[in-house]
Structures are given as structure tokens and as C-alpha cells.
């Protein structure tokens, strides 16, 4: 059931009506039922995966919490008369039990994700290795259908279990409420990857009907519809033509494809998140922002602080920090400082941790070498930029242009171009081909083809389509600039009723008239659903 479908709109209308029509104590149970109906619509078999994650993580987290409570009671009661060594030994035993249960939880959750997402990729590469070694033996190839949203809800559950182990908050004793946290349907498809302590505050609380809250939520849903239907879906066909026929579309066409894909991905992903946050807000539930004007970033580092924020913070909190302070990494740090010197030795553990994090980020996006190379390429760019910071400072000290509008604009354009180049690994899905296509930008000087009559129309876009896309880009740019002053919806809400009605009616008509629909007026799948 796609967000952009008649079936989902009917489903959402029924859920909202019941949500505010039923007594408040039934609101979160209704959301749990609705979430499982929504997820079950993608395939009844998929419910097995989300149930396995929910039950295993919920029970094991409670078990970890119970051990923590047992330790606290023992230290307050029986442990008072124990020696320091006895208390230390007792804590060590409890910690060891808690650690084993956390490992079991992670093994179940991440193991299940690895099996369904990476089995085919692993078998394919093992067969390639066997063939290269001259072995005639080949492993049977099979690929399991990837359950919808499994990367998102598994990471959400894993983060919860680790937080309980760290003592950040207590485990949720109500397994049904925990099931709602894992399966909350607006964020199930493409995130954001929520933290339990943030989402649970409003997720389980009763909410009364408030016209302003519901209106603001539905307005954001409408804005997400505009991005997805009017801009993103209109560009899908053109991007597909450019990337699937690499032999024909080289040189300048690679740059065109990079640009169009950058716009499509932004409109698609942020549009989906707008719909998620808007639906939640209409129910009085707060879901964290996942984007903060990322295309205004003046560096790749700044971009990743603004793009898919929940994913970036997840990898930082649960992989980078634990890896960078673990014993093997500390040993590596000592070894590096001893043999490479203090300055270089300090960098080695950080670089290794960064490479591991970005390798995991890449492979999380998909089971393919292109995603792994994409992740590592981002890491290399970030590390090079970090090493060049002293040079940047000296440059800006001599040429004080950093605060000027022109220099900021150069930084934004440079960052956008770098990221578009990196995204070509996602476009072509083949690492050698991607490098060849990027190389053709400088080896195949065919800019004249862009101005040949009718060439741009061969991408499946009419002049009217190009006009609509340009209008959509300008509107998204204008809204992003306006957001610097605060919530755009909040600012519009302060206008007169006539102006408010005209703005949202115009946006609705633009979606209705200019929306790019498929067969049966169903829109295409969101890009991040595949992850």
C-alpha cells in the first residue's frame, strides 16, 4: 500500500476518523492495529519478520532491564555488607549476563536482516570467487524477497535494545506498546529511524482533536504529495532513459542525469518524509525532522549533518563511537602512535572507524558493490576535506571571502556537484560502468547534442514537463529559503483566511492537475522503499 495511492488515502481517512472518534484510551491500540494492517497489505508473510523483531527485542530488552533491577536491589540490600571486591565481582557477573542477552538480541535482529537482504549478494560473490580460483563448484543461488521497511524497523529496534543496555531509559514492559513503536505505519516505509525516548512521549499519549494540529499536519502531507507527484515522478522516466542506455547517453548527458537524479531523489525522499511527519502531526504525534535544507550545505560534512539526519546519528551513536573506543581500536591507537608518531597515530583509529561506518552505511543502502563504493567514496571525500582544513584556514586568512554571498554560493554549488558525482554509483549500479561514465564527461565532448532540436524531448519529457519541473524546483527553493524565518506553514497560518485558502487550494490543484500518475492513477514507489 503506497502512500501515494487511493487505497492509502482511504485507509488514512478511516484511521483518522476512528482515532479521534474512539475514546482516547483506544488511540494507541488503534494505531497498532492500523500499522499491522498497513504492513500486512505488503504481504502477509512479511508480518513474520516484524513480529520476530518485535518479540525478540522486546523480551530480551525486558530481560536486560530485569538484570539491572536485580543488581540495583542487591547493591542496596545484600550488597551493603559486601566487600568492594565482592561488589565489583557481582557487577561484573551481571554485566556479562546483560551483554550476552544484548548480543543475542543483535544476532537475531541483524542476522535476520543480513539473511533476507544480503544472501543473494553473498552467494553471487562466493560463486565468482570459486570460479576465479578454478573451482567447478557453484553454490545454489537464491534470493529472498526483501520485506518492506525491514532496514528501518530493525535499526530502530536495535537502537532501542542498545539504549536499554546502556541504561539510557527503562525497557518498555508493555509488549504491545513496544510493537507500536517498531511498526508505527507512517515511518515504517522510509523512516525516520526514531529513538524510543523521543517518539514514545507522544506516541502513547492520548490526543484530543485540534483543528489547527490536524490542518497543519495535512498541509505538510499535501506538500509531500507535490514534491513526489509533480517533481520526482515526472523525472523518473528521464533518469531511467539516461542511465539504462549508457552507450548512447555519455559525456554531457551524464551531467544531465546527475542533475535530474539529484532533484528527483531530493523531491522523492523529502516528500515521503513530509508525508510521514504530516500524518503523525495530524494525530498529535511528534516525529523528528530528517532533513534541514541539505542542498544549502557548503561542504559534504555539513550536507551529511542535514540529510537523512536520523540515519547519520544512528551510525554515529551505535557504530562510530563504540568502535572508536573499543579495546582493539585503543590498541591500534597505541601501536600507531608508537610507530607513526603522535600526529599520524591519532588519525589512524579515527580513519579506520570512519571507513567502517561508511562501509556499513553504504551496504545498508543496498546489497551491491556500488553501494559499498558509494559509502567509502563519501568517507574519502570527508577525510580529505578534514585534512585540508588547515589549508582552508590559511587561504581564508589571506583572502577573507568566507562570509560573502558569492563564496557561500560557490560552496553550495561545489558540494552539490560532488554529491551528484557520488550518486552516480546509485544511478548506474555498476562500479566499472560508473567510472567510465564519469570519465566520459571529460573525454566525450558532446555539448552540442544538448542544443540539437528535439534531443531533450527524447528523454520522455515534453516542453510542458520541463516547465512544470522548473516551477517545482523554484517553489521548493523558495520554500527552503522561507524556512529560514521559521515554519512556512506557521507563517501562512498567520495570514487571513482568504490567503490561506488560496495558497493550499492552489497547491492542491497543482498536485491534481500536474501530478504524474501511472496506471490506474497510482504513483510509483518511493526510492528509499528499496532500502
* Residues marked as catalytic: 365
> CA–CA separation, 398 vs 184, rounded Å?
53
Q: What is the CB-side half-sphere exposure of residue 86 using CA atoms within 13 A?
A: 8
Report residue 2 as a C-alpha cell: 503506497
The three-point CA angle 52-58-59 to 5° equals 95
User: Are 172 and 200 a contacting pair, CB within 8 Å?
Assistant: yes
> Which one, of 304, 100, 117, 234, lies nearest residue 524 by Cα?
234
Q: Is 509 helix (H, G, I), strand (E, B) or coil?
A: helix
Alpha helices (runs of H) in 208-341, residue ranges in sequence order: 211-225, 233-244, 252-282, 300-306, 309-315, 321-325, 327-340
What single string gives the DSSP state of each residue in 417-461?
A: HHHHHHHHHHHH--HHHHHHHHHHHHH---GGGGGSTTTGGGGT-
Neighbours of 228 (CB within 10 A): 28
Long-range pairs of 288-294 with CB within 8 A, sequence gap ≥ 24: 288/192, 288/194, 288/195, 288/198, 288/199, 289/192, 290/191, 290/192, 293/480, 293/483, 293/484, 294/266
> CA–CA separation, 41 vs 107, rounded Å?
28
Omega of the bond leading into 50 within 30 degrees of 0 (cis): no
Q: Cβ contacts of residue 375 below 8 Å, gap of 6+?
A: 358, 359, 360, 361, 362, 363, 365
> CA–CA separation, 516 vs 531, rounded Å?
23
Look-up of cell digits 533476507: 116
Question: Residue 522 has what DSSP assignment?
Answer: P
Question: Residue 487 has what DSSP assignment?
Answer: -
Q: Cβ contacts of residue 102 below 8 Å, gap of 6+?
A: 60, 64, 161, 162, 165
Amino acid at each position: 500500500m503506497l502512500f501515494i495511492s487511493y487505497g492509502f488515502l482511504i485507509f488514512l481517512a478511516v484511521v483518522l476518523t476512528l482515532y479521534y472518534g474512539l475514546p482516547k484510551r483506544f488511540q494507541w491500540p488503534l494505531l497498532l492495529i492500523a500499522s499491522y494492517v498497513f504492513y500486512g497489505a505488503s504481504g502477509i508473510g512479511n508480518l513474520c519478520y516484524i513480529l520476530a523483531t518485535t518479540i525478540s527485542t522486546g523480551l530480551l530488552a525486558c530481560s536486560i532491564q530485569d538484570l539491572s533491577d536485580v543488581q540495583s536491589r542487591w547493591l542496596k540490600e545484600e550488597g551493603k555488607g559486601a566487600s568492594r571486591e565482592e561488589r565489583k565481582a557481582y557487577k561484573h557477573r551481571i554485566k556479562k549476563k546483560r551483554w550476552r542477552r544484548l548480543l543475542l538480541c543483535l544476532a537475531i535482529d541483524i542476522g535476520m536482516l543480513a539473511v533476507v537482504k544480503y544472501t543473494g549478494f553473498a552467494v553471487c560473490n562466493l560463486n565468482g570467487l570459486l570460479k576465479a580460483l578454478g573451482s567447478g563448484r557453484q553454490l545454489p543461488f537464491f534470493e529472498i524477497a526483501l520485506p518492506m521497511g525491514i532496514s528501518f524497523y530493525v535499526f530502530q529496534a536495535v537502537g532501542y535494545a542498545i539504549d536499554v543496555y546502556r541504561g539510557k531509559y527503562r525497557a518498555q514492559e508493555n509488549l504491545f506498546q513496544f510493537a507500536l513503536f517498531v511498526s508505527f505505519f507512517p515511518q515504517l516505509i522510509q523512516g525516520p529511524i526514531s529513538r524510543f525516548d523521543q517518539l514514545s512521549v507522544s506516541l502513547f499519549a492520548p490526543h484530543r482533536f485540534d483543528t489547527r494540529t490536524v490542518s497543519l499536519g495535512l498541509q505538510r502531507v499535501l506538500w509531500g504529495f507535490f514534491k513526489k507527484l509533480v517533481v520526482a515522478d515526472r523525472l523518473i522516466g528521464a533518469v531511467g532513459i539516461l542511465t539504462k542506455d549508457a552507450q548512447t547517453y555519455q559525456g554531457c548527458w551524464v551531467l544531465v542525469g546527475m542533475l535530474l537524479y539529484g532533484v528527483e531523489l531530493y523531491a522523492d525522499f523529502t516528500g515521503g518524509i513530509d508525508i510521514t511527519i504530516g500524518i503523525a502531526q495530524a494525530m498529535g504525534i511528534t516525529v523528528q525532522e530528517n532533513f534541514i535544507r541539505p542542498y544549502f550545505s557548503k561542504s559534504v560534512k555539513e550536507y551529511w549533518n542535514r540529510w537523512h539526519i536520523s540515519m547519520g546519528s544512528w551510525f554515529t551513536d551505535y557504530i562510530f563511537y563504540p568502535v572508536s573506543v573499543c579495546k582493539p581500536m585503543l590498541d591500534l591507537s597505541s601501536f600507531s602512535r608508537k610507530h607513526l608518531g603522535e600526529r599520524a597515530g591519532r588519525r589512524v583509529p579515527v580513519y579506520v572507524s570512519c571507513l567502517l561506518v561508511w562501509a556499513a552505511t553504504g551496504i545498508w543502502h543496498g546489497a551491491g558493490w556500488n553501494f559499498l563504493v558509494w559509502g567509502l567514496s563519501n568517507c574519502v571525500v570527508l577525510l580529505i576535506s578534514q585534512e585540508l582544513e588547515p589549508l582552508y584556514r590559511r587561504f581564508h586568512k589571506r583572502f577573507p571571502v568566507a562570509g560573502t554571498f558569492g563564496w557561500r554560493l560557490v560552496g553550495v554549488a561545489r558540494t552539490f556537484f560532488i554529491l551528484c558525482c557520488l550518486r552516480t554509483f546509485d544511478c548506474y549500479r555498476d562500479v566499472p560502468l560508473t567510472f567510465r561514465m564519469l570519465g566520459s564527461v571529460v573525454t566525450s565532448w558532446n555539448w552540442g547534442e544538448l542544443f540539437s532540436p528535439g534531443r531533450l524531448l527524447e528523454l520522455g519529457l515534453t516542453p510542458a514537463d520541463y516547465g512544470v519541473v522548473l516551477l517545482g524546483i523554484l517553489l521548493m527553493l523558495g520554500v527552503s529559503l522561507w524556512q529560514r524565518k521559521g515554519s512556512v506553514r506557521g507563517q501562512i497560518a498567520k495570514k487571513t483566511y482568504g490567503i490561506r485558502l488560496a495558497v493550499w487550494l492552489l497547491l492542491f490543484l497543482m498536485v491534481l492537475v500536474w501530478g504524474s500518475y501511472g496506471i490506474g492513477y497510482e504513483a510509483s514507489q518511493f526510492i528509499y522503499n528499496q532500502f
